[in-house]
Amino acid sequence: MKKLDKRAELLKKQQAELDRRTQVENEVVQLIRNCEFEKANALLETLDDNAVKQIGKELDELKAEKADILVEGMVIEQSRKGGIGSRKALGRYMEAMA
């Protein structure tokens, strides 16, 4: 699987998990308003913080790997140190194309 495809998949998973968490939290608020505290606590316990952390960790690992960026047929290599030279080159290229 290509890095961009993997990143897109992880971002979709992360957004789906965040949406689910938001839905659960809204339900918990409604239960608390109805004084159903035990049900609210039980519902809160279904949230898994490790799922969001794991997806974030996988996204960070993808960023750390050496990546090639293809911009209109031009490949700019990013280094693990942030690719400062590559960013400058990309910036100059984008300015020239504007």
Q: What is the pTM of this model?
A: 0.58
Count of beta carbons in the 10 Å neighbourhood of residue 45:
8
Tens of pLDDT, residues 24-70: 999 999 999 999 999 999 999 998 888 888 998 888 887 766 544 54
What is residue 33's predicted lDDT score, i.e. its pLDDT?
A: 96
Contacts of 24 (CB under 8 A, 6+ apart): 43, 44, 46, 47
Rg (CA), the chain: 21
Closest by Cα among 29, 26, 28, 24 to 47: 24
- Can you give the pLDDT at residue 2? 79
